Amino acid sequence: MISRKTIDQVFQTARVEEVVGDFVTLKKSGANFKGLSPFSQERTPSFIVSPVKQIWKDFSSGKGGNIVAFLMEHEHFSYPEAIKYLANKYNIEVEETSTNEEEKEKRNHLESLYLVNQFAQENFSKNLWESSEGKSIGLSYFKERGFDENTIRFFGLGYSLKKIDNLYRESLGHGYDNKYLLETGLVIKNDKGYIDRFRGRVVFPIKSMAGRILGFGGRTLISETKVAKYINSPESDAYSKGEVLYGLHEAKKAIAREDSCYLVEGYTDVIQMYQKGIENVVSSSGTALTLEQIRLIRRLTSNIVILFDGDLAGQRAALRGINLVLQEGMNVKVCFFPNGEDPDSFVKGNELEKVKTYLSEQANDFIQFKIELLLKESGSDPIKKAQTVRDIVSSISKIPDAIKREIYIKECALAMEVSEQVLFDALAQEKSKKNKLVKNKMIIPETKNDSFATEKRKPNLYNPILNLEKQILSILIHYGSYEAFFDEVLIFSDSDGNLVEESKVVQSKVYEKVFLDLQQDEIEMIQPEYQSLYTQIIDSYQREGKIITEKIVQQKDINTVKLLTDILLSDEEHQLHAWEKKNIFVKDRKSVVGQLVSETILTFRRHLVDQKIQNIIKMAENQVGNYNEVEFLEEVIQYQNLKKLLSQKLNRVL
C-alpha cells in the first residue's frame, strides 16, 4: 500500500491544471480554465478546471472529481497507478507501507522485474535505430510490413542483436542483477553460459494498461523449420500471458471513446489497424481468450467485435471461448475477412473508409452467426440438429440479461423451426445445472431483511428526495458558515388533538440550522455517498468552524469526490454558455440564503411526510401488523394535516 504520507504529498504538490493540461488544451477563463471535453465530441467547451479548488468538471458527460479521478477516467489507471504517475511526474519518492517484510520484499521484487524489462525495451529500441544490424534487418522488416517510423516508435518496437549475450552484458554493465534477467526470461542459462532469449529477432514490447513493460514477443526473420516463428517471455511475477492484451495501453482511450473494441490475433494486426486509423484494437497474442482478458476490455466497453480469417478454420475458431465473453454480459460480434485475407493484409490493401464500411457491414451478432454455421453443418441430420440446438441454448444460457436471452430464444426458434417452449425448457435445464454447480461450490449465507438492504443500496434514482438531499449539501458547502435569520416553525397538538403551528424568528449559522432540523427528524440521506459527504461537512464545521474542501477532495472515495465536484462547480456552468450575453442573469443566492434554507428544509419535510403516508397506506392494504382501520384513518389524517401546514408555510416562504 502507498503510504498516507506519499498520497498527501502528491495532492499537496500536483496541480490539476498542469496534469489535465498534458491531455487537454486549456484556456484561461476568469479564475478557472476551460477546454473541449476529452470524453465526448463537442465544438463548444464544456470542460472546466478550477486551480483554486483543485478539481475539474466535464458538463457534457457529467464526469468530474480531483486530479486522481481525472487520470482514472482519462488514462484508466487504478487509484495506486494514478498516485504513482503523479509521484513520478513531480519527482516524489513513493513510500509504501507493508503489513510485513515478506509483503514489502514481494513488491520490491516485482518493481525490479519491471525495471529490467524497461531497460531491455530501451536497449532493443536503441539497437533498431542506431546499430547497422538493427537498421538493415529489423528496421527494414518493419518498413516492408508497411509500418512508418512514427508507428514503430509509438509501439516501442525493437530488435535484439544476433550476438549471443549482448543484452546480458549490457544489463550487467548498467548494474542489473542477472537473477532478474533470468526470471523475466530475457536471458537463458544453459551449459554454454548466459544466452539472450530474443537474439536475432524483432521485438514487440507487451505493456500493462498503465504502460509498464510486462514482457516481450519476438519474431524470427529466418525461415528455418526448427526455429519457432514467434516466442514470448515466459510466465513470471511480472508477466502472465492470459492476463494481458497486446496494444491495450495504446488503445484504451479509443476503446472508451468509441465504446467498442476490435479483437485480433497478432501483433502486426494491431499495429497495422492502428496506423490505418482504427485505434480501438487489441490482440490476445494468439491464445484463447481468458476471463481476465475479457474483464480488462469490460472496464472500457461492453461491446466487442472479434476479427477472424475468412476460412473454415477461422469460423470454427470463432466458436471457441466466446461463452466466457457472453457470461460477462458483453455484446459480441464476429467479422470474417475475405478468404486468404487477415486483418493485417486487408487493412494494408484498402482505404480507411472502405475498411470501416466493411467492419460495420460484415460484423454479425455472435449468436446469430453460431446458429447459421451450426445449422449449415448439421444439415438434415436430426441428431446433429438436436445437438446444435443444445449447443446454442448453452451459449444463450451464459447471457446474464434475461431480456437478451428471451430475444435470442425467439430468434433461435424461428431459425431452427423448433417451438419456443421447447427452447425455454432447455434453457431452464441449463440454468438449473448452473445453479446446482454454484450451490455445490459455495454456501450462500442468509441475510436478514435482504430485500430492504437492496432497496437501501439502490434507491429510486427519480426520487425527488435525492434532489433535495443534493440541494441541502450544496447549501452547506456554499453557505454553511453564513449567519442568517430563519422563521422557525413549531408544530404541535393542542388540547383537542388538532395540529397548530407557532412561528418565531431566530438567528443562527446555516449549518447549525440544517443539522438541528435533520437531527430532530432523525433523517439519514438515502444515497450512501450523500450521507458520507454530509457527515464530513458537518464534522468539518463543528471542528473547524468552516468546511475544508481540500481534505474531502483528496479522499479515495471517487463517488464522494465526484459529488463534491458537481456541487462546487455547479455555478460555473453559466459561464461556459455566456448566459449574460443572452440577457439571462443568475440570481445571487447569498442575498436570500435564509429563504433558500427554509424553503429546502420545508420541501424536504413535506416529501418525507408524503412518503410516510404512502408507506402507511401500503401497510394497510397488506394488513401488516395489528391492523386497525380506525387507528389507520387517524394516523393518515394527522399526517395529511401536517403536510397541509407544511405546504401553507412553504407557500409563504416562496
> What confidence tens digit (pLDDT) does each residue in 98-119 have?
656 777 788 888 889 999 999 9
User: pLDDT grade, residue 637 (50/70/90)?
Assistant: confident
User: Is residue 577's pLDDT more than 60?
Assistant: no
The domain limits of the chain are 4-89, 101-239, 248-439, 460-653
Cβ atoms of residues 304 and 330 within 8 Å = yes
Determine the pLDDT at residue 624: 54
Choice between 366 and 274, residue whose per-residue pLDDT is larger: 274
The reply to whether 4-89 and 101-239 are identical in fold is: no
Q: Is the pLDDT of residue 451 over 50?
A: no
Which has more pLDDT, 561 or 504? 561
Nearest to 480 by CA among 542, 427, 430, 437: 542
CA 461 to chain centre: 20
The secondary element (H helix, E strand) that includes residue 306 is strand 303-308
Place of cell 513493460: 213
The pLDDT-based confidence of 450 (bands split at 50, 70, 90) is very low
CA dihedral 547, 551, 552, 558 (to 10 degrees): 170
Euclidean distance between CA atoms 266 and 342, whole angstroms:
10
pLDDT above 70 covers a percentage of the chain that reads: 80
- What is the mean predicted confidence (pLDDT) over 167-189? 93
pLDDT tens digit sequence for 405-422: 888 888 888 887 888 888
Q: Which three cell numbers stand for residue 598?
A: 427554509
pLDDT bin (cut points 50, 70, 90) of residue 645 is: low
Least confident of 52-56, 206-210, 458-462, 600-604: 458-462
**Domain spanning 4-89 has what CATH number?**
3.90.580.10
Residue 179 has pLDDT above 80, yes or no: yes
E-only strand ranges, 222-298: 230-232, 261-264, 281-283
Rounded to whole angstroms, the Cα distance separating 489 from 191 reads: 92
Does domain 248-439 fall into CATH 3.40.50.300?
Answer: no
Residue-wise pLDDT tens digits, 59-97: 888 888 889 989 988 888 888 888 988 998 888 988 877
**CA-based R_g, the chain, Å:** 32
Q: Quick one: average pLDDT of 325-353? A: 87
Calculated CA dihedral for residues 302, 307, 313, 317, nearest 10 degrees: -20
Q: How far apart are CA 265 and CA 285, in angstroms?
A: 6
Q: What one-character-per-residue DSSP string does 574-591 give?
A: HHHTTGGGGT-----GGG
Whether 445 has a pLDDT exceeding 70, the answer reads no
Classify domain 101-239 at the CATH topology level: DNA primase DNAg catalytic core, N-terminal domain (3.90.980)
Given pLDDT bands bounded at 50, 70 and 90, which one contains residue 176?
very high
Alpha-carbon distance 309 to 352, whole Å?
19
Cβ within 8 Å of residue 33, ≥6 positions away: 17, 20, 21, 26, 27, 48, 49, 51
Residue 162 predicted with pLDDT over 70: yes
